[in-house]
Amino acid sequence: EEGADVPQDQKAGWASFIKSLAHMTGDLSSMTAPPFILSPTSLTEFPAYWAEHPELFADISEGETEEDRMERVFLWFIATLKGQYTTRNEKMGSEKKPLNPVLGELFYGTWPDVEGRGETVLISEQVSHHPPITAYYVENKKAGVALQGHSGQKTSFSGTSILVKQSGHAMLFVTPKKTGKQETYLITLPKLRIDGIIWGSPYIELTDSSAIQASTGYGVQIDYKGKGYFSGKAHMFKAKMTKASKTIQTFEGEWTGVSNVGSSKGPVFYDADAPKEEITVKPITEQGQWESRNLWQKVANGIRGGDFEAAGRAKSIIENEQRQRRRDEVAEGTSWKLWNFEHVDSDPEFQKLVAMMNDKTQPTTEDAYVYSGEHYKQLLAGASAESAAAAPAPAA
């Protein structure tokens, strides 16, 4: 029955939310949704999903050959998918609507150096509010592996599903232990279909294709399919590793379960039951005012505790403060300065890799956010979160 998973008192709100989806103009993030579907987590936290298997990330640079390293990059990539796209279902029962980050919002965290693998750090920053774009940098210095990327979304509604096109891409920089010579990998992102809207229990299925293109000439194309395509199962993929149009290896299976090398009878490639490691974040009391969990604390507490009026009030304070800040900038003829990133229209390495890619998996935009780490490095150097911040803090 329609709306079966919606609390009785929110059924009307959910129905009108679905109606409003039909008029959506590409950006769902700023639309008002009923309380039961709200998540207390901001989108600036999502880049952490790239590094919840820090050992696989670090192991990339241990690869003996170009082919071996391509396969390790692909293994790490597949291992991130379950976290990226099914975590909210597992933790909160369904996909939820994340908090819409403010411009300048930050999310910092680390994964510890265990057994000499090196520490992994995440620097995530909201670099655009309208449309929402999050830039991120993940690095394991010791291993010689770093990921720089940004993420935006264009959403539409099919009548039953929300369709999400991801804009943005990621560049992976690897310094192999063997050669010491840097390799780059361009990573494009799959499309999402959010099903289960009618019932009030949304979940993600991945569709179409994405790819990873290496500067070494190796590439992997990944095709995603849900129920009833390759088999009766949801969350399936098939992938093909190639070099100079020659197929080197194929892979297939479930990105939420077991995948195999070659056919489904081949050796196990990855088992998504493998435990993942959550990011370590400073206690909120030690965070700066632009850091996500500190900034949204009252809103998140309201959502978690079911006090949606308190959450709404806290949210309005933040949003009004942001609007005022934007008005002041216009009046002063200034513009917001990013903390840790610099926007570029394109870059030569990106163009080289795109040219090596199959058309249907190419990213739609060329621009990127290059990591400078200005604010993060000041913090590490011992500045307090506030003094490291050139701009005044947002509303308390």
**Interface with ligand CLR by CB under 6 A: which residues?**
28-29, 33, 37, 46, 49, 84-85, 95-98, 151, 153, 162, 164, 166, 194, 202
Residue closer to ligand CLR by CB (options 34, 63) is 34
Query: Which among 367, 371, 361 has a CA at the least distance from the CA of 347?
Result: 367
DSSP state for residue 291 in the 8-state scheme: B
Q: Cβ 204 to ligand CLR, closest distance in Å?
A: 6
Give the tokens for residue 12: 């009307």
Residue closer to ligand CLR by CB (options 44, 215) is 44
Q: Cβ 28 to ligand CLR, closest distance in Å?
A: 5
Give the tokens for residue 119: 């520490």
List all residues 6 or more positions away from 155 whose beta carbon is below 8 Å from its beta carbon: 24, 26, 27, 28, 162, 163, 164, 165
Q: Cβ 148 to ligand CLR, closest distance in Å?
A: 14
Length of the chain: 396
Query: Which among 330, 308, 285, 298 has a CA at the least distance from the CA of 395?
Result: 298
Neighbours of 248 (CB within 10 A): 15
Q: Cβ 210 to ligand CLR, closest distance in Å?
A: 12
Residue closer to ligand CLR by CB (options 128, 250) is 128
Residue closer to ligand CLR by CB (options 135, 220) is 135
Residue closer to ligand CLR by CB (options 157, 251) is 157
Q: Are 178 and 162 in contact (CB under 8 A)?
A: no
List all residues 6 or more positions away from 208 whose beta carbon is below 8 Å from its beta carbon: 190, 191, 223, 224, 360
Q: Is 16 helix (H, G, I), strand (E, B) or coil?
A: helix
Q: Are 362 and 354 in contact (CB under 8 A)?
A: yes
Q: Cβ 178 to ligand CLR, closest distance in Å?
A: 30
Residue closer to ligand CLR by CB (options 9, 329) is 9
Q: Cβ 188 to ligand CLR, closest distance in Å?
A: 12
Rounded to 5°, the CA angle 172-235-152 comes to 45
Q: Cβ 161 to ligand CLR, closest distance in Å?
A: 11
Residue closer to ligand CLR by CB (options 60, 197) is 197
Residue closer to ligand CLR by CB (options 151, 292) is 151
Give the tokens for residue 154: 């264009």
How large is the angle between the packed helices 308-332 and 297-305, nearest 10 degrees? Answer: 160
DSSP state for residue 280 in the 8-state scheme: B
Q: Cβ 3 to ligand CLR, closest distance in Å?
A: 13
Give the integer Cα–Cα distance in Å for 69 and 173: 12
Give the integer Cα–Cα distance in Å for 323 and 336: 13
Is the bond preceding residue 131 a cis peptide, omega within 30 degrees? yes
Residue closer to ligand CLR by CB (options 171, 194) is 194
CA distances to 39, 53, 272 from 276, rounded to whole Å, are 21, 6, 9
Residue closer to ligand CLR by CB (options 147, 388) is 147
